[in-house]
Structure 1
């Protein structure tokens, strides 16, 4: 556990300087093609041997913490869902044999590698974080477990069991992570992830030396192969909007500030998704923002009174983030957008509690 703690501390120290330039706003969900690469430490739980009859025995191999590298190509659908294809590499060295019925030592390496297909969901709209965008996902695929001189032996060195075999098995995993974007490089971001990877049973060829010169070939089935990995990496999103270049100073006096322009985007009841009409209004606001000199763009979300005040506050904020993400996709710099959620306050049409009023389910875009 001390080694695992050291890996966690080291990973945090590496990730800290990378977040200095992170944006102080919740980034929108990923849209389009992206690539990612991460590396870190991998902790392999004790691997149990399975005896005859399919029962897991108490005998197990204990290992040391080893390296892990994961590379992926993915595509974000823009609604928070991402589809990802990855390739990974893990290595652990066995250090001890446990519950063999005699004092047992162990050695050799287990290397795992293979393809995985993941489905992930960006939790930007559900869990507000000021500097990072959390996400979670699951994956399924195939992993090869390669034994390099994996062996166990007693203090007298007999019996000695050795394996140099490679076996494939069905694999599954769970992923929890967060992405921290860079302010001046919106396509690039730091990722911090925890991954749990499990493999199905594998049946390895073995050679057992039971006495000097006496070798018996056989097979040994290994059971649970549970891996816990902590990674830090980089992700490059090809679909992220470019940072708008700074405006050149005008040689003439600045004109008087124009009056603020306002656009209303309406939503279906208890929804935060944009309709086709709503997208057209957001596009109009984004296009018009390029024709005027503005200091900021306010995106204010509201709801009707049909829910609880706390729920409506969260729903109004999700609606605001949806509109802000659409503005970014339409070319508005994310740094110019200020998002707020007012819930059921500031009603456009005054109603009593519990009323589903369509005019109150809105987001107001104000270009100042």
Structure 2
């Protein structure tokens, strides 16, 4: 029942309405989150102990600890490499209620809790859905982490025969985790995103046994307690801020002076994302430019192609791809001018890729006004 409730809550978080598409992180970021912590039932081996006078107690049981409600919280600092990969350092705190200990010879009532704290080093990968032809308002990611957690058990069991057993001690051990999540950008706030995650944390106990105390009719004694592997399932809602995704400030206004010669006539032709084909509107603008070239004194016609800084491929490969795409757009406009009567020898074409954007943007941003070809009549 608790697992089903947690899964429903996670589904509700993922289904929350959003309108913006999350972007790949380049540079530093911070992340905080909190959520529900569900601990699997855990075996505890209670070894025979010794009385205060040194004599042995022949007892020894295998208990099954059952956890109820719990919570988790974390904070992390990381760095995105611009190609989907991220690395981060994380501090975490977990708490869970213990409400039952099974497998004992005599029935009893158990109450208490456990908690853990420590850190992980995580490596994550953001999945760009546009590479698969999906334009969804989120960026899913997966990750793994390794670290160290200090685990405290604080619980007691009172049996119907009057005996009692308690444990309150801290030990540490190696821990690891797997992460599945999604980031949802907040419209109008560059760099800020809501994150939803599922995490599975596993922990070993290699730093020695715990020590419990027991009181019964025979007296008081202590014995070692060893715990099996521990697993936490966590459902988390968080906030993440990437520091370098805000658009750069606009360039200062240029001082306009009267030109010494007649100004050039410029026409702008816009393209769909990752396309180099002329739309009907683009073809009309090319026709107008060709007609204007016959009515003004023109020595040459420059056709310059550009793209925005998003790409169908990541990193330097994407920049090379955009450079070729900008040239194909310029060639498409040149062909349109020739069809409308402009001599081929009068046209010079250039492809500039992501350089000289018409509208400054942050990295990996689809900006329609930057996907253009400029026709300049000189």
**CA offsets 1:214-248 (integer angstroms, 9 cap, x no match):** 21122201112100000001000012132878xx9
Which TM-score applies when normalising by structure 2?
Answer: 0.65
CA distance in 1, matches of 2:80, 2:266: 42
Equivalent residue for 1:35, pick from 24, 30, 37: 30
CA distance in 2, matches of 1:73, 1:176: 18
Local SS of the residue matching 1:29: coil
* Pair 1:139–1:215, CA change in 2 (3 A): same
* Pair 1:146–1:63, CA change in 2 (3 A): same
* Pair 1:157–1:335, CA change in 2 (3 A): farther
* Pair 1:232–1:277, CA change in 2 (3 A): closer
* 8 Å CA contact 2:38, 2:70 repeated in 1: yes
CA distance in 1, matches of 2:10, 2:198: 11
CA distance in 1, matches of 2:62, 2:352: 67
CA distance in 2, matches of 1:287, 1:177: 34
CA distance in 1, matches of 2:135, 2:221: 59
* 8 Å CA contact 2:306, 2:354 repeated in 1: no
Alignment of 1:224-243 (within 5 A): 224-242=229-247
Local SS of the residue matching 2:65: strand
CA distance in 1, matches of 2:314, 2:30: 28
CA distance in 1, matches of 2:27, 2:93: 26
CA distance in 1, matches of 2:242, 2:225: 45
In structure 2, the residue matched to 1:196 is 200
Unmatched 5+ residue regions in structure 2? Answer: 49-60, 254-264, 271-303, 327-350
* Structure 1 residue 120: Cα displacement: 0.6
In structure 1, the residue matched to 2:39 is 44
In structure 2, the residue matched to 1:72 is 76
CA distance in 2, matches of 1:215, 1:242: 69
Equivalent residue for 1:152, pick from 130, 135, 157: 157
Unmatched 5+ residue regions in structure 1? Answer: 249-254, 266-270, 293-326, 339-363
* Pair 1:52–1:177, CA change in 2 (3 A): same
* 8 Å CA contact 2:268, 2:372 repeated in 1: no
* Pair 1:291–1:123, CA change in 2 (3 A): closer
In structure 2, the residue matched to 1:102 is 106
CA distance in 2, matches of 1:171, 1:102: 34
Q: Which range moved further: 203-212 or 173-182?
A: 203-212
Alignment of 1:206-285 (within 5 A): 206-211=212-217, 214-242=219-247, 258-260=268-270, 261-263=304-306, 273-275=315-317, 278=320, 281=323, 284-285=352-353
Alignment of 1:133-152 (within 5 A): 133-148=139-154, 150-152=155-157
**CA offsets 1:153-182 (integer angstroms, 9 cap, x no match):** 322341x21111011110010000000011
In structure 2, the residue matched to 1:288 is 356
CA distance in 2, matches of 1:291, 1:177: 32
Local SS of the residue matching 2:32: strand
Residues paired across the two proteins, number = 283
Which TM-score applies when normalising by structure 1?
Answer: 0.67
Equivalent residue for 1:87, pick from 72, 91, 99: 91
TM-align CA RMSD: 3.6
> Structure 1: which 4+ aligned runs deviate by more than 6 Å?
none
